[in-house]
Chains A and B, each alone.
Chain A
């Protein structure tokens, strides 16, 4: 990419599933260290866009330019059920650098400690609450040291108190220099956390808003929703 400030550039991508056009001519630039919210109702195409960025789906046409390492946090977490929380966190990074496994374990334990989940390290995912699973999945994504973290509906199924925790957690991750792209249908949540929100409607970008320039971004976005 030419522009050094860009983490990601999406050019004219289209995606169709069984004749249904899910993404249509999407053009988007994401700046480094930005928190970008992808808003939209269910089926609008925001998750598909994240999946295309992560190369889990391949666009029919267009191009996604990204030189950065990308991490993905799934809506349903997808922790490995037969591994303990700690094994979930250290398995992937240890594969590449086997001799540094102890260092990864220490790192993972520090992160779990900072999230108040130290005692859950040796437990299996099935014993965790929704919020704990989400935090574990978040830490797992971070263990691979991504430059961009894609979060698909990170607040779905969580209570208000946990959502507040998620906001501060994601912000602290962003402060470490990680670019965040967060897909959510929850405008209140997105406007609390993001610098910029892109609203996707029927596979197209309906509006792209810098939140600092809007006095009431939620109302503004609702007009296009």
Chain B
């Protein structure tokens, strides 16, 4: 029993790394993805953005992670840490998916809302910030929560470059004790609980903040 509890605590200590990667990745993904979707909507660098989104969605995340960890440092001359690598790779990967989610969200805002903003002489920056993006966010919120959930699970790929997250710690226990079932179950329980927590917070935000939805 004591063994299970100590395994539980040891594997649980990897949550911080997983959450760090998730938070960093989703912040970069959301900001970059929003920017890409706005630029693409305005027709700025549309082909380049389409190419970027297509390439990122069309190649495995583990490959992107490996490129950032092993290839990029040789170009920039700086060795990136494991967490920095993860945040950058997950952020870039997520930005492509967020850009696609936002594309649908922007298209779902009636054209008349853009025209109303123009008629009222609202400058482009404020139109996006205060008129369009809040409506886009209402539309895409459930899909965005899905993206957060997906990214949380994908953070487990950090083990391939030595990150000590939930997954890696469960593997260490398994290797030490020649017992896979319990450590993997513990890792699964942690991931599932985190996913439930994200979904719970998402539902609360949806109920409270997005109840004005009128679209």
A binds B: yes
- Report the count of interface residues on A (CB-CB < 8 A): 22
Complex: chain B residue closest to A140, CB-CB: B120
A contact residues around B126 at 8 Å (CB): 95
Given contacts A81-B214, A95-B126, A54 and B119 within 8 Å (CB-CB): yes
B contact residues around A81 at 8 Å (CB): 135, 212-215
Is residue A72 within 8 Å, beta carbon to beta carbon, of the partner chain? Answer: yes
Complex: chain A residue closest to B210, CB-CB: A82
How long is the Cα–Cα vector from A14 to B118 in the complex, in angstroms? 22
Are A71 and B119 interface neighbours, CB within 8 A? yes
Are A56 and B118 interface neighbours, CB within 8 A? yes
Tell me the residues in window 151-197 of chain A with beta carbons closer than 8 Å to chain B beta carbons. none
Is residue B77 within 8 Å, beta carbon to beta carbon, of the partner chain? Answer: no
Q: Which of B110, B119, B212, B214 counts the most A-chain CB atoms under 10 A from its CB?
A: B119
Complex: chain A residue closest to B119, CB-CB: A72
Are A82 and B116 interface neighbours, CB within 8 A? no
Are B112 and A74 interface neighbours, CB within 8 A? yes
Q: Which of B131, B134, B214, B215 counts the most A-chain CB atoms under 10 A from its CB?
A: B214
Q: Out of A78, A95, A96, name the residue touching B116 (CB < 8 Å).
A: A78
B contact residues around A125 at 8 Å (CB): 214
Over the window 125-165 of chain B, the binary record of Cβ atoms lying under 8 Å from chain A Cβ atoms (1 yes, 0 no) is 01000110011001000000000000000000000000000
Q: Out of A76, A82, A91, name the residue touching B135 (CB < 8 Å).
A: A82
Is residue A124 within 8 Å, beta carbon to beta carbon, of the partner chain? Answer: yes
The secondary structure that dominates the B interface is helix
The secondary structure that dominates the A interface is loop
Over the window 90-118 of chain B, the binary record of Cβ atoms lying under 8 Å from chain A Cβ atoms (1 yes, 0 no) is 00000000000000000000101101101
How long is the Cα–Cα vector from A196 to B122 in the complex, in angstroms? 32
Min CB gap A142→B, angstroms: 11
Is residue A21 within 8 Å, beta carbon to beta carbon, of the partner chain? Answer: no
How long is the Cα–Cα vector from A81 to B214 in the complex, in angstroms? 6
Chain A residues within CB distance 8 Å of chain B: 54-56, 71-72, 74, 76, 78-82, 91-92, 95-96, 124-126, 140-141, 144
20 additional A-B pairs beyond A79-B116, A95-B122, beta carbons within 8 Å, are A55-B118, A56-B115, A74-B115, A78-B113, A78-B116, A80-B116, A81-B135, A81-B212, A81-B213, A81-B215, A82-B214, A91-B120, A91-B122, A92-B120, A92-B121, A96-B121, A126-B212, A126-B214, A141-B119, A144-B121
Provide 27 A-B residue pairs closer than 8 Å at the C-beta atoms, listed in order of the A residue. A54-B119, A56-B118, A72-B115, A72-B116, A72-B119, A74-B112, A74-B116, A78-B110, A78-B113, A78-B115, A79-B116, A80-B113, A81-B135, A81-B212, A81-B213, A81-B214, A82-B134, A82-B212, A82-B214, A92-B121, A95-B122, A96-B121, A125-B214, A126-B212, A126-B214, A141-B120, A144-B120
